[in-house]
Amino acid sequence: MVKAAAVNRYKHSFSSLRLISIAILSGSLGMILPQATPLFAADVESIDWSQISVSKPRLYYPGQSSYQWLRTSEHKKAAEETKAGEACLRCHKGEQKSLGEILVVENRLEPDPIEDKSGYLRLSVQAAHDDQYLYLRFGWKTSGEGPGNVGNLMRFDGSEWAWWGNHRQHEAVLDEEQPAIYPDRLGIMIGDAKSPLYPEHGCWMTCHDSMVGMAEQADEEEVGEHPVISQLYEKIGIPILNYAVRKYLPDSRSDGTEWAAVKNEDELITLRKEGAFLDLIIWDASLTNPAGVAADFNVLEMKQVDDGTSALWPNGEMRGGPKYMFDEGTVGFSALTEADLADPSKPKHLIVGHNTAPFDAAKIQEGDLLPAHILDTGAAEGSAADVDYAKGVFENGQYTVIMRRKLDTGHPEDDKVLKVGGIYTFGRFMTMRAASAPTMFRSRSR
Ligand code: HEC
């Protein structure tokens, strides 16, 4: 149940990843050993990163360039080579900026562009490890005026609670019923040659036409009726309304890359045991950063949160009402107002044990807002809680995020076990939004 709740939450924010993500052509990341003794979480901040080399991958907006599209004749003179496993970078090295510029405006792979969105981003990445942990440091310039750390909210309309805030192409945002709210986010996929072609093709392998916002989005009912996929959704407790095709690896399908052709359970178990899945870590300026953690997923037949309990939970049940509110004694108010969103001094996140109180309807007025999620690190455990340190700081338009994870988390069936000297491919995708309300309405990019 616990795990279910966390996944459900993510489903919402990912419902149109295609529209807001910037992907990178994959590349391998070397590792350097600055010291041998494992650091306590508190000491992670003392790492001298100036001693550690920096790589600067080029990320670009991918439009609807799905794994299917890349293998059709529309991918000019490249479909056969791509099918044969030729690496994207063999042909596209140095082209990332121009690809992003082409793909971010209206074109055959972007039927619905967002004005002034930027299509290219230079990320800086550093990696280090000691005996136990991998430490990663990322830096990027946002195109927003602020930290982009407001997440989705729930709003009381006088009689009931409803979701408030969504991505820029959501119907309710286009109809101006809800504001555009989308936090800054960094996703990292870790894989190796155990997932065939992943080192050559990276994140693109998990991006398919059947996903939300793509050219041939699968019918929710069909997804709901699918014997394997619906079972997975049921197992993790996601309501049928939210069934959609999520990231998956082609190897988990028996018929090409067709979303519905999922291999049988025994075959999937074998693939997982062999390590033929991807590890996926997502840091989010609103959903995870306030508690100093990141969320831990894996991708094989479907993107799923790792086993155990994540720190991230929905705040009660949407229409049933929130479970937590702000603790007035600690922060001076019980709920936020729309105007508060533009006030950086007002906390925007509910962190259990720090600033929360049980929900009390008597303290709520029409129009009040509460975060749609809570963070509870005290309850987090198991594989879902493996990224136990992930902190991002926003300064002068620049984000710096530092995180750590054990090289061997002890959970080989949903985390990549990293060995010193091994070669791993890190794929990165990011979403960016700009400042808090009211400027969010004219932010240049998400
Ligand atoms: C054999 C060389 C080759 C390989 C390998 C290759 N591409 Fe391409 N790609 C091309 C060529 C040539 C074009 C057409 C360029 C044009 O239309 O201007 C293209 C076009 C594209 C476009 C569309 C750009 C546009 O103008 O609309 C995208 C996106 C793209 N490739 C991504 C990838 C990715 C991702 C991979 C790896 C999975 C990949 N390519 C592998 C050669 C290659």
Distance from C-alpha of 356 to C-alpha of 99, rounded to nearest angstrom: 46
Atom 34 in ligand 1: residue holding the nearest Cα = 88
* Cα 88 to ligand 1 centroid, rounded to whole Å: 7
* Cα 92 to ligand 1 centroid, rounded to whole Å: 7
Q: Which long-range CB contacts under 8 A does 71-79 form with residues at least 24 apart?
A: 74/108
* Cα 75 to ligand 1 centroid, rounded to whole Å: 6
* Cα 446 to ligand 1 centroid, rounded to whole Å: 25
Tokens 């910037």, located at residue: 22
* Cα 273 to ligand 1 centroid, rounded to whole Å: 33
* Cα 85 to ligand 1 centroid, rounded to whole Å: 13
The pLDDT value given to residue 230: 85
HSE (side-chain half, CA atoms, 13 Å) at 379: 14
* Cα 358 to ligand 1 centroid, rounded to whole Å: 53
The pLDDT value given to residue 336: 98
Question: Distances from the Cα of 146 to the Cαs of 95, 127, 155, 398, in angstroms?
Answer: 29, 27, 23, 10
Within its chain, how far is the Cα of 125 from the centroid? 17
CA angle at 188 for the pair 183 and 189, rounded to the nearest 5° = 135
* Cα 244 to ligand 1 centroid, rounded to whole Å: 28
Pocket probe for ligand 1: among 75, 197, 201, 206, the residue whose CB has the most ligand atoms within 8 Å is 75
The pLDDT value given to residue 13: 22
Tokens 């400042």, located at residue: 435
Residues in the chain: 446
Residues with CB under 6 A from ligand 1: 65, 70, 75-78, 81-82, 86, 88, 90-92, 99, 102, 107, 109, 201, 204
Ligand 1, residue 88: give the atom nearest the CA. 37
Nearest to 69 by CA among 188, 198, 211, 229: 211
Ligand 1, residue 109: give the atom nearest the CA. 27
Over the range 58-91, which residues count as b (16 or more CB within 10 Å of their CB) and which as e? bbbbbbbbbbbbbbeeebeebeeebeeeebbbee
Cis omega (within 30 of 0) for bond into 438: yes
Ligand 1, residue 99: give the atom nearest the CA. 24
Segment-wise mean pLDDT, segments of 10 residues, the chain, 446 residues: 24 21 38 59 84 85 91 94 91 89 92 84 87 90 83 94 86 89 88 90 91 89 89 74 87 94 95 96 95 96 94 85 96 96 92 97 97 95 96 94 95 92 74 30 21
Pocket probe for ligand 1: among 60, 73, 91, the residue whose CB has the most ligand atoms within 8 Å is 91
- Say if residues 123 and 140 touch (Cβ distance below 8 Å): yes
Ligand 1, residue 202: give the atom nearest the CA. 38
